[in-house]
Structure 1
Amino acid sequence: AATGTITGTVTFTGPPPAMKPVALGGDPQCAAQHQGPVLAGDALVHDGKVENAFVYVKDGLGTRTFAVPETPVTIDQVGCLYQPHVAGAQTCQSIEFVNGDPTLHNVHGMPGRSAPWNFGMALQGSKRRIRIENPEVMIPVTCDVHPWMRGYLGVLPHPYFAVTGADGRFTLRGVPAGEYVLAAWHERFGTREAPLTLGAGETKDVAFAYAGGGN
């Protein structure tokens, strides 16, 4: 089928909300990996551009089905923080959690549409894979050992999603021509939606804007 590309930017107008410092002192192995204060990372805004927004096609793909990628999505635990902080995967795609720290972690996922998971990772370099069958935006992932650790995972039945970087930009390639609802999610700023019509060979730019304290 003929396809197009969806690009865009997620912005924030006004002073962004403050991020709280993370108290790493409870685990010396965590604190030793950082110099200076560590912020929660839940409101990263750079010159008005929003980082870690999850942008995805919410509606319009109909009954289309998509091959599951063979490459796993990797979520590491480095400096007692989830990296990346926000990630996306397709349904039934392997999601590999890695313990990059010389300390005990446990990965506690709390989906609303699938069974929760909770497993320990005691050894540095250890890996554990899971698959999630049911779509859900978003699934919080925590660590019971280090309560400040929090990440988010979006699971969709298609590959048309992205996480914004420090420039607030996103790109969705190879989207079939059609009419869609595009959505942006952010853990503190809330959600935004935008309808769009994408033509074959077309690149459509979409802007999502947050302001004030979010919602």
Structure 2
Amino acid sequence: MRMFGLLLAVTCWSLIATPAPAEDGWGTLRGKLVLEGTPPEAPKLDLGKDEFCCQAEPKDQSLVLDKSQGIANVVVYLRPERGEELAVHPDYQKSADEPVELDNKGCAFEPRVVTVRVGQPLLLKNTDPVGHSVKAELGDESFNFMLSAEGDQKLEFDKAQRLPRPISCSIHPFMQGWIVVRDDPYMAISGEDGTFEIKNLPAGEHEFQFWHERPGYLKTGKSSSAELDRRGRLKVTIKPGDKTDLGTIKVDSRTMAVESE
């Protein structure tokens, strides 16, 4: 992990080490994650005695559903083969240096799940009038920053993480979030209605990971339009110039009753 003062060196190197363009073009992957069955009851957060947090009344966000039972905050990302170097679309190259923001707002992390690429700046913010800490266990790139009211901190990562990693606040233990650190930009977080889309993927067959904080690896229901394997993975052929729609991926509600460790 590096502090923001080293960003210039990273930017210069990224210009030198630009990946080769995809030979067969680019395509899009999209779909919708929907809960199949009765949703588990949402746990109530213990907000302690912090006056501001008690007034803000943050709710449990470990499982967010809309009226159609679309599942928000599902992480979807491409899993390259060992040693495979993925071509990066020019649009992603342009955004490689744009900071990603993670805010402490209303005694909750906003967004709940944040994605960032290796070498891309992550801006930790605190727009609350009370202090927070932002802690994440990322091996030798773990961090634990204290953020005063309206304070911020920038950092970068040198290594990708195999899976999403939890973010917490030592001052307010009920605050929970997740960070996804990847080498490439081919990842998405499902929106409030459960839909996701990854644009400008290299054409060809790829394996995609589907992950949610409750069960970890997603498990599909019997009537799902696409069946994930036991590790929540799916192989998909991306066609150049085409949009591959996985349809409605239904997730067994029973798997959402147990939170991931």
> Same fold by TM-score, threshold 0.5 exceeded?
yes
The secondary structure found in structure 1 opposite 2:192 is: coil
Question: Following TM superposition, by how much is the alpha carbon of 1:20 offset from its aligned partner in structure 2, in angstroms?
Answer: 1.1
TM-score relative to the length of structure 2: 0.76
Name the SS for the 1:45 alignment partner.
coil
**Residues in 2 aligned to 1:32 and 1:150: alpha-carbon distance in whole angstroms:** 18
* Secondary structure in structure 1 of the residue aligned to 2:164: strand
Task: Check conservation: 1:54, 1:164, Cα contact below 8 A.
Answer: yes
Superposition map of 1:160-199 within 5 A: 160-191=186-217, 192-199=232-239
8 Å CA contact 1:108–1:144 kept in 2: the answer is yes
The equivalent residue for 2:241 is 201
Q: Structure 1 residues 82-91 or 61-70, which shifts more?
A: 61-70
- Following TM superposition, by how much is the alpha carbon of 1:65 offset from its aligned partner in structure 2, in angstroms? 5.6
Q: Higher Cα Rg: structure 1 or 2?
A: 2
Match of 1:93 among 112, 116, 120: 120
2:63 maps to 43
Q: Which protein is richer in helix relative to its size?
A: 2
**Identity, % of aligned pairs?**
27
Equivalences for residues 16-165 of structure 1 within 5 A: 16-34=39-57, 38-46=58-66, 47-60=68-81, 62-64=84-86, 66=88, 67=93, 69-112=96-139, 114-122=140-148, 124-136=149-161, 137-165=163-191
Please state whether the residue corresponding to 1:32 is helix, strand or coil: helix
1:140, CA displacement in angstroms? 0.8
Equivalent pairs, count:
210
C-alpha distance in 2 between matches for 1:106 and 1:151: 12
TM-superposition CA deviations, 1:106-161 (whole Å, max 9, x none): 1111124x421111112x22110111121112111101000001100111111111
| TM-score between both structures, scaled by the size of structure 1 | 0.91
1:57-78 deviation digits (Å, cap 9, x = unpaired): 1235921364471111100001
Structure 2 counterpart of 1:14, from 37, 45, 59:
37
Which structure 1 residue ranges, 5 or more long, are not aligned? none
Alignment partner, residue 10 of structure 2: none
Which has a greater percent of strand? 1
Shift of 1:33: 2.4
8 Å contact kept, 1:33–1:79: yes
Give the distance between the partners of 1:161 and 1:119, measured in 2 at CA: 26
Root mean square deviation of aligned Cα: 1.7
The 2-side partners of 1:29 and 1:50 are apart by 29
